[in-house]
Amino acid sequence: MEKITDFKVDENLRHIAFIMDGNGRWAKQRGLDRPEGHKVGVKVFERVANTCFDWGVEAVTFYAFSTENWKRPPAEVKTIMSLLSFYIDKCGDDLIKRGVRFRMLGDKSALDAGLRKRIDSIEQRSKHFNKTLNVAINYGGRDEIIHACRLLAQSGEEINSESFSRALYTEDCIDPDLVIRTAGEKRLSNFLLWQASYAELYFTDVLWPDFSDDDLKNAINDFYSRRRRYGGL
Ligand code: IPE
Ligand code: IPE
Ligand code: MG
């Protein structure tokens, strides 16, 4: 797959969020089991994250496992969790070398205690960096909103747009400017419901394991052809 090195974004595009969909269909098309699609999907996620940072994007968010994905067969859930766990084990040094802050978005309480500890450790080690990689695991937009409401109710803090944003899993992260969903479905599937309120949405039929630098560049060029009005004229 060709790497594009001579492309840059500007300050209008600071945060891109990805709904990585289509791993299962990709595998099926090749007569492979669904886990094979997820394995390639993780590699593509790592490459796309690095490409975004190389092109000057400040923050990227990847939807890896939703609160609804527990409905899948246990074997598939297990595969996805072990792939994520494997990624968490190996990503730390590389993220630190690249100056990237890692943050997990989602409810950690359902994760295996060992994995939770390793995630906490990378979050701590990387928290002073400016570039951000958010990975949404056991994440649901509704769950996140309820979680934020509980935090604010417990703390007694005044509820306003700023305090509410800070109580979300994304904390102080800027809102996404662009949300890209692969594999043809045109829905958010419970992703970043609050944060994406004014994001530009881009849908492509390309399946996630096939998503290339060229596909990313097309999505970004499409973003630059839009006019964001935010309710104004
Ligand atoms: C996205 O691919 C990965 C996760 C949701 C974990 P899918 O597994 O949803 O792939 P399709 O949509 O079945 O092709
Ligand atoms: C959304 O994909 C969740 C992730 C990409 C992690 P799904 O495949 O779970 O979404 P639906 O079921 O098509 O809405
Ligand atoms: Mg899917």
Q: How far is the CA of 54 from the centre of ligand 1 (A)?
A: 27
The protein residue whose alpha carbon is closest to atom 6 in ligand 1 is 65
Q: How far is the CA of 184 from the centre of ligand 2 (A)?
A: 11
21 classed as catalytic:
yes
The answer to whether residues 61 and 15 touch, using CB atoms and an 8 Å cutoff, is yes
pLDDT at 2: 85
Q: How far is the CA of 170 from the centre of ligand 3 (A)?
A: 23
pLDDT at 209: 98
Query: Which stretches of the chain score pLDDT less than 70?
Result: none
Quote the strand ranges of 24-124, DSSP E: 59-66, 100-105
pLDDT at 194: 98
Q: How far is the CA of 27 from the centre of ligand 3 (A)?
A: 12
pLDDT at 76: 97
- The residue whose CB lies within 8 Å of the most ligand 1 atoms, and thus the one to mutate among 18, 19, 25, is 25
CA separation, residue 147 to residues 101, 106, 119, 151, 166 (Å): 22, 10, 19, 6, 12
pLDDT at 1: 75
The protein residue whose alpha carbon is closest to atom 12 in ligand 1 is 22
Instruction: Return the C-alpha torsion angle 94, 2, 133, 100, nearest 10.
Output: 40
Q: Which of 50, 54, 69, 210 is catalytic?
A: 69
Taking only the tens place, the pLDDT of each residue in 15-30 is 999 999 999 999 999 9
- Which ligand is closest in space to the CA of residue 71? 2
Helix, strand, coil shares of the chain, percent, nearest 5, are 45, 15, 35
Compute the radius of gyration of the chain from its Cα atoms.
Answer: 17
CA distance 96 to 166: 24
Pocket lining: 25 vs ligand 1, CB cutoff 6 Å: yes
- pTM (2 d.p.): 0.98
pLDDT at 82: 97
Pocket lining: 189 vs ligand 2, CB cutoff 6 Å: yes
Pocket lining: 20 vs ligand 2, CB cutoff 6 Å: yes
107 classed as catalytic:
no
Residue from 68, 144, 71, 69 nearest 105 by CA: 144
Ordered structural domains, the chain, with CATH: 15-139+177-224 (3.40.1180.10)
Pocket lining: 21 vs ligand 1, CB cutoff 6 Å: yes
Pocket lining: 23 vs ligand 1, CB cutoff 6 Å: yes
Pocket lining: 69 vs ligand 1, CB cutoff 6 Å: yes
Q: What are the phi and psi torsion angles at 42 (to 5°)?
A: -65, -40
